[in-house]
Structure 1
Amino acid sequence: MPEGDTVWQTAKRLHTALAGEVLTRSDLRVPRFATADLTGRTVLDVTARGKHLLTRVEGGLTLHSHLRMDGAWKVFAEGQRWVGGPSHQIRAILGTADRTAVGYRLPVLELLRTADEQRAVGHLGPDLLGPDWDPDLALHNLLADPARSLGEALLDQRNLAGIGNVYKSELCFLLGVTPWLPVGALPVERAAKLPALAKKLLDANRERPVRSTTGLRGQDLFVYGRAPRPCLRCRTSVRMADQGDGSRERPTYWCPGCQSGPVPSASASRRMSRRTAN
């Protein structure tokens, strides 16, 4: 699932291409909205809300989409070949006189009244890249369930919106704790700086083509995707194991030398490493 900075970049591309323009083509290829026609309406703006995309058009309508694991919005110039995937994967087409936005493999696509946007995004916590960002509320939300693992709490978009699996692992590394540490066991001084650190990372990367949390050329991430290579700080082999609630397990990375706290069994880590290697 894309991180909040990736969704923010997508919204910026769509906004640049569509905002202020009249739609000359509209095709929503989902059964519920297949007969909806937005042609003739002006696109007002495209906004990211956490990992959700809101495309607002005149007449009080909003096209709500979510990329999840495989979705993508591509923007093409007039006459340019569409290269986002086979045509049967297209779920939405929004065209203007000189640009066409094509949504591929969108698992969530719905047309709703702009006044009802809260129905789609009202459950989200403060948006790390949005005007509603509130670090105190984000920390309050995270600490509300002290027994929950930090990694799972960070991924819960109801606590704060925009963190995905990459930032989860990188934030835990920078805080010096494992993603399996209960939120309530996070030292007070580290908990206090968590919201600002998360905000700093996403802000720094929202304009970058290649995400970096290290500031090092050629070594963009501290732990995510690095198992079993050595840690950039202590040279201990980075480890990897699944983390999740039983329904959605995600590969999670940490450094045993730099991060303290509970970890999965060694056998679970080895199984995960073998599966990824294959």
Structure 2
Amino acid sequence: MPEGDTVFRTCARLHEALAGRVLVAAELRWPSLATADLTGMTVSGVVPRGKHILLRLDSGWTLHSHLKMEGQWRIEHTDSLTHDTVPEEGARNERPSRRAAATWLRHPDVRAALITQEWTAIGLRLGVLDLVRTSEEHTLVGHLGPDILAADFDVSTAVANLASSDTTIGAALLDQRNLAGIGTMWAAESLFLERVNPWAEHVDASVITRVVERARRLMTAATASGRQSSTGSSRPGDNTWVHGRSGRPCRRCGTTIRVAPIGPPTRERVLFSCPTCQGGLAPTDDGRPIAPLGARGGRRGRREPR
């Protein structure tokens, strides 16, 4: 699932392409919104709220979307609506291009298309799509904790929420009601770098503060560079310490990286960790050998980023 930094960059691209522009056409291919007509409305702006995307219109409406596991927003030149080339199989480039907007609009994965004179925004495989009054955005995102990437991020409230949670620190970090924006990658990497066991409970507030501040630094850097990396390397398979590296040796101590589910039933996710660096196995981990899974990579000598 795209994490807060990816959503932040998606919103920035949508805002740059659409803000201040009039929608000359719009299609919402969502059962409850199929008859909604946004034509003639001007996009006021696009802002992130954790992993949620809020596209505001001058008419007082907000188009809310969530990418869930596989969603994305593409930006295409509207003049390519007259072209008829076919997108490459598996193409996922989200940057503006002059390729085949017309063909993209015929794609079965399209859930929304917002067309201005210059740019067309195409929402593919969106997990959620809502249209609400801007004054009622709170009904969709009001439950979220402080946004970790917001300029006015309230770290004390986020830490208090996490400290009062009745679950493990790993599960608490993934609960968007405590703080919004962190997903499995940044939770795993931040916990590893601060040597905190994801399955620990009743973690001291000072330790939680370090984990949250670490995650914020890493995610802020990713929004600026466009590259998700906690190791300093942007090479695929070499950009994380533990995430996606089960069965591989820890880059810091050489112990085999483990992966285990975390969180309440029906809402379980998986987190990667090093049992030596982070103080033990997950409660559900029997310690049996596991085959390497995910990105390649071995033990590397690399200074941990601060």
Give the structure-2-normalised TM-score: 0.83
Deviation at 1:250, TM superposition (A): 2.1
Q: 1:206: which partner in 2? A: 223
Secondary structure of the corresponding residue to residue 242 of structure 1: strand
Deviations 1:39-93 (A, max 9, x none): 1111110000000000001111100000111111111112121486972211100
Confirm or deny that 1:196 pairs with 2:209.
Answer: no
**Aligned equivalents of 2:142, 2:52: Cα separation in 1:** 11
**Aligned equivalents of 1:265, 1:217: Cα separation in 2:** 32
**Aligned equivalents of 2:293, 2:263: Cα separation in 1:** 17
1:7–1:53 Cα contact (<8 Å) kept: yes
- 5+ residue gaps in structure 1? none
AA of the residue aligned to 2:161: N
Q: 1:2: which partner in 2? A: 2
**Aligned equivalents of 1:248, 1:139: Cα separation in 2:** 22
Confirm or deny that 1:242 pairs with 2:254.
Answer: no
1:85–1:104 Cα contact (<8 Å) kept: no
Seen in structure 2, the aligned counterparts of structure 1 residues 27 and 175 have a Cα distance that, compared at 3 Å, is same
AA of the residue aligned to 1:224: H
| Percent pairwise identity | 44
2:175 corresponds to which of 141, 148, 156: 156
Secondary structure of the corresponding residue to residue 246 of structure 1: coil
1:178–1:260 Cα contact (<8 Å) kept: yes
- More displaced stretch, 209-218 vs 23-32: 209-218
Q: 2:66: which partner in 1? A: 66
Deviation at 1:196, TM superposition (A): 1.7
Confirm or deny that 1:252 pairs with 2:271.
Answer: yes
Matches within 5 A, 1:56-95: 56-77=56-77, 78-79=79-80, 80-82=99-101, 87-95=107-115
Deviations 1:156-212 (A, max 9, x none): 111000000101111110121221111x1x245322323322211111111223201
**Aligned equivalents of 1:108, 1:269: Cα separation in 2:** 39
Matches within 5 A, 1:38-57: 38-57=38-57
AA of the residue aligned to 1:115: S
Q: 2:19: which partner in 1? A: 19
AA of the residue aligned to 1:119: T
Deviations 1:95-153 (A, max 9, x none): 111211011111210111101011111111000111341000000000112x4111110
AA of the residue aligned to 2:123: G
- More displaced stretch, 158-167 vs 209-218: 209-218
Q: 1:29: which partner in 2? A: 29
1:241–1:269 Cα contact (<8 Å) kept: no
2:72–2:125 Cα contact (<8 Å) kept: yes
Secondary structure of the corresponding residue to residue 224 of structure 2: coil
- 5+ residue gaps in structure 2? 81-98, 295-306
Let me know the Cα RMSD of the aligned residues.
2.1
1:28–1:92 Cα contact (<8 Å) kept: yes
Seen in structure 2, the aligned counterparts of structure 1 residues 267 and 260 have a Cα distance that, compared at 3 Å, is closer
Q: 1:170: which partner in 2? A: 189
Matches within 5 A, 1:140-151: 140-145=160-165, 147-151=166-170
Total equivalences in the alignment? 272
Seen in structure 2, the aligned counterparts of structure 1 residues 97 and 86 have a Cα distance that, compared at 3 Å, is closer
